[in-house]
């Protein structure tokens, strides 16, 4: 049993979006979709400060794997659940496709994997296609990679060491130190969702 | 803060919320009327069938809104009942169907005590459906305009007002003494409900003024939209209030009340559509992109 989390270091994120590419390849997320695709992780460009001292920043986001997850609490079928390692997951076989969780997530982490996406998934990945039914989709911390002893694909590819993945319950881990020292903070604490993704800004 | 208007839910959910509330309220009010005003078994059976038909029509739109409508059977898999309003709603809706049918059977065979109990249970479930339509939206923490206790109250009151409207339509053609009596009772109740709805709306928007950015944005979206101000507020609420109040003071004015009921129904639908439309997420800065 672990309590997995991630620290995003906005200071070192280069904005290369290698994480988005790696995630979308590993998890076969609809990068083909209209209006810029559907992603489990995004890197948003922000402008910080006032003219003339404007600084560009890159802001990576994923599902925050909330301890008090709005998505899970509205899910009627129990398709959305938290596994023993604190990862919020979706059982595709149970997903009704009602979209209630998309509305309930205050971090815009979820999207619909629709029929067209299934067709495209098969078109691009052929026999290796991983999505076979419509469902709602989001970041899983690459739970399948964790089982194989690998890091989530975004953290594994990150050039700027902006994504630090680990067990929040292990006081010696890099992530626990950053979080326990107060250097990394969750987003939108007022929402009382208790996210397990933290930010160094 | 990044403010983003929601777009996952639209017309279909609004139609579902409207007809769900309308069906539940029609059933609850109709059965109450039959039990209270001795309207006879066929009236009881008729309004229950009508209520269930309206509810079913609404449910159809919930199913059509699923990513894949053919997966609708999973809706009966209500493992999330401890926390999810869709799951709870399914149970209440099933209850409305089951007790509604039992009530009709009892009414048909004229078994008075059983009919009464089944009637009460069906009314309770019908009432539950109206409130649930508001709680469904209310559960979304990320949309502060919905996440307020005023919303379920507003939807419940509005649903009952539309239920009154339907019953006035049903009763308008009947000339017996009980029907007339019931018609006027419903008419007065609707006047009360519309006034209450206006008060709740006033409180809702007054509260929104002091709310966070997303709430203010939602309120502005609504107040800046003529479908809300003219369509809903004037034609769907204030006009029927005046017309019904006027009709209630005059003899032979059922036609006017029936016309006002049509406006109430229109207003009820617009309210749901617009509240869904005006849902604004308040994402922590950087998320929305
Ligand atoms: S970020 Fe959204 S999808 Fe992820 S656990 Fe929290 S509420 Fe659920
Ligand atoms: S879309 Fe699927 S995961 Fe989301 S709330 Fe509905 S059933 Fe649950």
Place A92 in a pLDDT band, splitting at 50, 70 and 90.
Answer: very high
Ligand nearest to the CA of A65: 1
- Parent domain of A86: 4-200
Burial class (CB in 10 A: 0-12, 13-18, 19+), B122: buried
CB B129 within 8 A of CB B24: yes
- Whole-number Å distance between alpha carbons of B274 and B277: 5
Domains of chain B: 2-283 (1.20.1630.10)
CA B84 to mean position of chain CA atoms: 19
Closest residue on chain A to B1 (Cα): A188
Q: What is the pLDDT of residue A197?
A: 96
Whether A114 sits inside 8 A of B83 (CB atoms) is no
Whether A42 sits inside 8 A of B72 (CB atoms) is no
Q: What is the pLDDT of residue A87?
A: 96
SS3 B174: coil
Closest residue by CA, ligand 2 atom 6: A98
Could you tell me which residues are beta bridge partners of residue A8?
A163, A199
Strands A163-167, A135-137: parallel, antiparallel or unpaired by DSSP?
Answer: unpaired
Interface subset of A 102-141, CB within 8 angstroms of B: 102-108, 112-115, 133-136
CB neighbours of residue B133 within 10 Å:
28
Closest residue by CA, ligand 1 atom 7: A105
Closest residue by CA, ligand 1 atom 2: A105
DSSP for B16-37, written as a single string: HHHHHHHHHHHHHHHHHHHHHH
Could you tell me which residues are beta bridge partners of residue A200?
A9
- Whole-number Å distance between alpha carbons of B157 and B190: 10
Residue A94 sits in a domain whose CATH number is 3.30.70.20
Q: What is the pLDDT of residue B180?
A: 84
CA angle, B4 then B6 then B9, to 5°: 175
pLDDT less than 50: residues of chain B: none
- Whole-number Å distance between alpha carbons of B250 and B199: 26
Domain count, chain A: 1
Stronger pLDDT, A94 or B73, i.e. the higher one: A94
Instruction: Give the rounded percent of residues in chain A with a pLDDT score beyond 70.
Output: 100
ipTM, two decimals, is 0.86
Burial class (CB in 10 A: 0-12, 13-18, 19+), B68: middle
Contacts by residues B112-119 (CB-CB < 8 Å, ≥ 24 positions apart) = B115/B44, B116/B35, B119/B31, B119/B34, B119/B35, B119/B44
Write out pLDDT tens, residues A133-168: 999 999 999 999 999 999 999 999 998 899 999 999
For a mutational test of ligand 2's pocket, the pick from A69, A72, A77, i.e. the residue with the most ligand atoms closer than 8 A to its C-beta, is A77
Place A115 in a pLDDT band, splitting at 50, 70 and 90.
Answer: very high
Place of tokens 């239920």: B163
For chains A and B, CB pairs below 8 A equal 122
Picking from B167, B160, B83, the residue whose alpha carbon sits closest to that of residue B128 is B160
Instruction: Give the rounded percent of residues in chain A with a pLDDT score beyond 90.
Output: 85
Whether B8 sits inside 8 A of A77 (CB atoms) is no
Interface subset of A 33-92, CB within 8 angstroms of B: 42, 44, 46, 59, 61, 70, 72-78
Picking from B266, B259, B196, B284, the residue whose alpha carbon sits closest to that of residue B227 is B266
Picking from A162, A37, A140, the residue whose alpha carbon sits closest to that of residue A88 is A140
Could you tell me which residues are beta bridge partners of residue B217?
none
H helices within chain B, ranges in order? 11-37, 41-64, 85-108, 112-138, 150-172, 177-209, 213-223, 226, 239-249, 254-277
Write out pLDDT tens, residues A30-68: 999 988 889 999 998 888 777 778 888 899 999 999 999
Q: What is the pLDDT of residue B288?
A: 65
CB B1 within 8 A of CB B217: no
- Whole-number Å distance between alpha carbons of A6 and A61: 10
Write out pLDDT tens, residues B38-89: 778 888 999 999 999 999 999 999 999 888 888 888 888 888 888 899 999 9
State the Cα torsion B50-B51-B57-B62 to the nearest 10°: -170
């Amino acid at each position: 049993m672990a309590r997995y989390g991630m620290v995003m270091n906005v200071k070192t994120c280069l904005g290369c979006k290698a994480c988005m590419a790696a995630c979308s390849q590993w998890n076969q997320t609809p990068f083909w979709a209209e209006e810029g695709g559907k992603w489990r992780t995004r890197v948003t460009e922000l402008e910080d400060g006032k003219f003339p001292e404007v600084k560009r920043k890159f802001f990576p986001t994923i599902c925050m794997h909330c301890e008090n997850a709005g998505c899970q609490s509205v899910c009627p079928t129990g398709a959305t659940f938290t596994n023993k390692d604190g990862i919020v997951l979706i059982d595709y076989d149970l997903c009704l496709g009602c979209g209630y969780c998309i509305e309930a997530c205050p971090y815009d982490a979820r999207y619909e994997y629709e029929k067209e996406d299934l067709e495209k998934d098969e078109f691009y990945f052929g026999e290796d296609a991983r999505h076979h039914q419509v469902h709602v989709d989001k970041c899983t911390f690459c739970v399948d990679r964790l089982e194989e002893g690998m890091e989530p694909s975004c953290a594994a590819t990150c050039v700027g060491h902006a994504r630090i993945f680990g067990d929040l319950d292990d006081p010696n881990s890099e992530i626990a130190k950053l979080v326990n020292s107060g250097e990394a903070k969750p987003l939108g604490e007022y929402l009382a969702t208790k996210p397990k993704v933290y930010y160094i800004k | 803060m990044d403010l983003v208007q929601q777009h996952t839910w639209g017309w279909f959910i609004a139609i579902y919320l409207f007809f769900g509330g309308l069906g539940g309220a029609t059933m609850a009010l109709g059965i109450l009327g039959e039990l209270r005003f001795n309207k006879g078994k066929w009236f009881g059976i008729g309004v229950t069938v009508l209520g269930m038909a309206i509810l079913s029509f609404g449910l159809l739109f919930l199913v059509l809104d699923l990513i894949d409508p053919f997966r609708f059977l999973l809706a009966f898999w209500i493992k999330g009942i401890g926390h999810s309003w869709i799951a709870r709603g399914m149970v209440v809706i099933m209850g409305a169907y089951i007790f509604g049918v039992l009530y009709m059977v009892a009414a048909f065979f004229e078994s008075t005590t059983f009919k009464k109990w089944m009637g009460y249970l069906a009314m309770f479930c019908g009432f539950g459906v109206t409130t649930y339509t508001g709680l469904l939206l209310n559960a979304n923490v990320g949309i502060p305009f919905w996440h307020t206790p005023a919303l379920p109250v507003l939807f419940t009151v509005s649903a009952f007002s539309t239920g009154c409207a339907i019953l006035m339509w049903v009763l308008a053609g009947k000339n017996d003494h009980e029907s007339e009596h019931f018609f006027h009772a419903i008419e007065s109740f609707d006047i009360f409900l519309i006034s209450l709805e206006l008060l709740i709306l006033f409180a809702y928007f007054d509260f929104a003024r002091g709310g966070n950015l997303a709430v203010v944005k939602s309120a502005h979206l609504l107040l800046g939209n003529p479908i809300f101000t003219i369509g809903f507020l004037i034609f769907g609420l204030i006009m029927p209030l005046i017309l019904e109040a006027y009709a209630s003071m005059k003899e032979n004015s059922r036609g006017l009340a029936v016309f006002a009921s049509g406006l109430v129904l229109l207003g009820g639908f617009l309210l749901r559509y617009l509240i869904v439309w005006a849902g604004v997420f308040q994402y922590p800065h950087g998320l929305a992109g």
